[in-house]
Structure 1
Amino acid sequence: MESLPVILTVKFYRTNMGNEPVRDWLAELPRESRRLIGTDIKTARQRKARL
């Protein structure tokens, strides 16, 4: 399967103290939930150009 080019850069919010609350929240989720969210982020990064 041919991989699609990355169109959208994904960055997590970072506080002035350097904390990344969204990344911390994701790390607390069950493994399968993290995998599904990661798949969705990857899809969004690659499909933005098609919209």
Structure 2
Amino acid sequence: MEESTNNQAVSNTAVIEEPVTKWQYTTLLALTIMASLVSFVVVMIEANTR
């Protein structure tokens, strides 16, 4: 039971910190854009090789 309360305390402190969440959203958006671009390039390469 003590471990769950410790995890809740850590998650609550992480939610309070605003710059960390801003960087997390920014990195998530950047990774999503990069993944979509890479998948687009792969699809274009496969279309050209057929």
Q: Which TM class, normalised by the smaller chain length? A: 0.3 to 0.5
TM (norm. structure 1) is 0.41
Larger RCO (alpha carbons 8 Å, 6+ apart): 1
Larger Rg: 2
TM (norm. structure 2) is 0.41
